[in-house]
Amino acid sequence: MKITLQHPRALTDALVQSLTENLAGERVRINAQCVQLKKTVFDPKRQHELSEQAQAAGIDIAFSERSLMWADFQLLAMDMDSTLINIECIDEIAGMCGKKTEVAAITEAAMRGEITDFNESLRRRLAIFAGADASVLQKVLNESLQLNPGAEQLISAAHAHGVQTLLVSGGFTFFADAVQKRLNLTHAHANELEIIDGKITGNVIGEIVSGDVKAALVQKYCDALNVPTSAAICMGDGANDLPMMAIGGLSVAYHAKPRVQAHATIALNHMGLDGLANVLAHP
């Protein structure tokens, strides 16, 4: 088993030693934030204890039965809102219209999995600010949207290792296209808002990108690459990401809801997105 320990500021040797002093294995420092312990063996009870100790110390810890590396994968599929970027775009659009509280409550329930029909939850939210001026989209992009920490480093590492990148979002093409351009992502898919006479109608053009559609898109791009879905890394933070995470070879929960973390191979709660690159590093 390989264990990867990471701290967003600095992971000292003393802290690593205090957590792993009773574990055999080869300790390898990846960088100032990350240390890997390789070729170690321990039981699930010890794994649970170590996870709790690491969480209490503000450390992300990842366990893998084999030494995962970039060479194992061909596709990195990522959610956009609250994963690649710092906001839920639909909530911010609603905020520009004075409707954020109402819309955000539905968004939060959907992300927790309390509203199981994503399509219906999206329609309900869009209806709240139907008729709004489409200029709010540019205002959100200019004033609110930022990449989450480590996004550029993660994408650069993926591309450097020949891994294609796929943004697959239940959000909107207006923002997905901008993020794709900024990060030079290989592919991007999101919902296209219907705009008529400069107004958001509250409708989506074409198929809504639900959780099942996200999984289908991952399958589609793996088929195009002639690889199984086990060659895909799938990363997200909400319940809508679970279907694609279930078919990937590596699932990553990024600052995610508890239900998503419970189903993920790796959870990043403290590190930025580049924490995934550390897990896949192979010195």
Of 150, 126, 105, 94, nearest in space to 270 by CA: 150
Q: From CA 136, how far away is CA 224, in angstroms rounded? A: 36
Q: From CA 275, how far away is CA 281, in angstroms rounded? A: 10
CB 194 within 8 Å of CB 203:
yes
Find the angle CA(153)-CA(157)-CA(142) to the nearest 5 degrees. Answer: 35
Q: Which residues are tagged catalytic?
A: 79, 81
Give the other-Cβ count within 10 Å of 151's Cβ: 21
Starting at the earlier edge strand, list the strands of the sheet with 2-6: 26-31, 34-38, 2-6, 60-64
CB 85 within 8 Å of CB 258:
no
